[in-house]
Each structure stands twice: as structure tokens, then as C-alpha cells.
Amino acid sequence: MSPDDLGFDPFDDRLGNELRAVAPSAPKADQALGELRPRFARARQRRRAAVAGAWGLAGAGALALGLVFVGSGATNRIDTPPASQPDRGTTTTPKNDVPTSTDPTAVVPGTDPDGTTVTTDDHGGNQGSGADEPDSDNGDGGSGSGSGGDDD
């Protein structure tokens, strides 16, 4: 008996002797071993069958998984034509198919043909401060408040 560090004393020897004396007897090991042999063999067979079944199941699962991957790869493939095909030419279209006016006499609103800027008098209705027409006298001064816009 290993006392370890439990602080054993003579009481423990007495207790151990008493317990070993009163402990129920057990079947003889050799006899029990002989009786258990068939159960041992059956247990090992069952165990091997279970392990083989589990491996088979795992293999089938892996195979199925592989097939799923292969199948999904085929359906998701994108077919692209070869980079150069002899019968396929490149056509270009002119970009300026939107007609634009090039008439020099055309007047762009807000510009005089001689190039000067034309402003229309809004009689002070413009929101401007009047800086463009310092001599304007028909508005309400340079305030440009917009309140006189309806003088006409």
C-alpha cells in the first residue's frame, strides 16, 4: 500500500486487512476467461464490422461529395469563342452621327453676332446687384432686390 502523503497510521493497515477479508469473492480469472472467450470473439467481429461499415459509409460520402463537385463544375462553365476568328471583322462607325450646326450666322442665345455679350433688361428684375449696368435708371437702383420685376 502506498501511503502517498495522506498521513497513514496503523489504523490503515487494520482497515485494509479487514476490508480485504470481508470483500466479496470473485470468480476465478482463468475460469472467467474461458467462459468469456466466445463473447470476446463476437465483440471483436462486431467491432470490425462496425468499423468497416463506418469506413464504407465515409468512402461513399466522399465519393458522392466528389461527384457533386464535378457536376457543379460542368454546369457552371462558360464557353468563350476563340480569341481570333477569320470571318469576324471589326466595323467602326463614325461617332459624329449627331448633326451639329455649323452655320456661322446662327445666333447662340445670349451672344451677339459681333461677339459682344447681350443682356436683356429685366428692369431690375434680375437678381444681380446692377454692377453690369452702372447707368441703369429704370430699376430700383442697384439693389436688385427683384421687387420691381413687373414694371412692364
Partner 1 sequence: MIPSRTGDDDFDDLFRATFEPMVRSLALACGDREAAADAVQDAFIRAYARWRRIGAYDDPAGWVRHVALNRLRDHFRKAERGRRAVERLGGREAIATVPAPADPSDVLVHVGELPQQQRIAVSLFYVEQLSVIEIATSMGLSEGAVKYHLHAGREHLRASLESP
Contacting positions for partner 1 (CB under 8 A): 1-2, 4-6, 11-12, 15-16, 18-20, 22-30, 32-33, 36, 39-40, 43-44, 46-47
C-alpha cell at 75: 454546369
Beta partners for residue 117, in sequence order: 111
C-beta of 51: minimal distance to partner 1 in Å?
A: 10
Q: Return the beta strands (E) in 29-73 as ranges.
A: none
Residue 110 and residue 117 in contact, taking contact as beta carbons nearer than 8 Å: yes
C-beta of 39: minimal distance to partner 1 in Å? 6
- For the CA atoms of 66, 69, 71, 76, the dihedral, rounded to the nearest 10 degrees, stands at -170
Nearer to partner 1, 33 or 62 (CB): 33
Q: Shortest gap between Cβ of 41 and partner 1 (angstroms)?
A: 9
Pick 16 or 61: Cβ nearer partner 1: 16
Closest CB to partner 1 among 29 and 108? 29
Could you identify the residue written with the cell 476490508? 19
Instruction: Give least dist CB 58 to partner 1, A.
Output: 18
In angstroms, give the least distance from the CB of 54 to partner 1: 14
Q: Which is nearer to partner 1, 47 or 54 (CB)?
A: 47
Task: Put residue 142 in one of left, alpha, beta given phi > 0 → left and psi -120 to 50 → alpha.
Answer: alpha
Residue 27 main-chain phi, psi, to 5 deg: -60, 150
Q: Which three cell numbers stand for residue 29?
A: 480469472
The residue among 21 and 98 lying less far from partner 1, judged by its C-beta, is 21
